[in-house]
Amino acid sequence: MSSTTPRRSRSTGCLLTLLQLLAVYLLSHGPVMALYSSQRIAGPVPHLVTTFYQPLTWLYEHTPLGTPLTAYDTWWKHLLKKS
């Protein structure tokens, strides 16, 4: 029994880490795009950035998450315009 407990703990830890990375990825889109749209980072959005966030574009266009993600991005744009 003690041999399965560490394996289960390790699996749970890996799963939690992956979920945290996914959350950071999802939540990073708003600030990054707001930095470019507010011109705090000069120039157009680089191809590498658009490629990195391409899966989110699919979520925006093909799932019900598009509306809340758009609202989140808009919130960041307004936040950076004010400061």
Report the chain (83 residues): mean pLDDT per 10 consecutive residues: 68 95 95 92 93 93 94 94 69
Task: Write down how long the chain is.
Answer: 83
13 located within any domain = no
47 located within any domain = yes
20 located within any domain = no
Say which residue the tokens 């993600």 belong to: 69
* Domain range enclosing 74: 27-82
Please count the structural domains in the chain. Answer: 1
Concatenating the DSSP letter of every residue in 14-59 gives: HHHHHHHHHHHHHHHHHHHHHHHHTTSS-SSPPHHHHHHTHHHHHH
Number of Cβ atoms within 10 Å of the Cβ of 63:
10
The span from the CA of 24 to the CA of 71, in Å, is: 17
- In this prediction, residue 7 carries a pLDDT of 76
16 located within any domain = no
56 located within any domain = yes
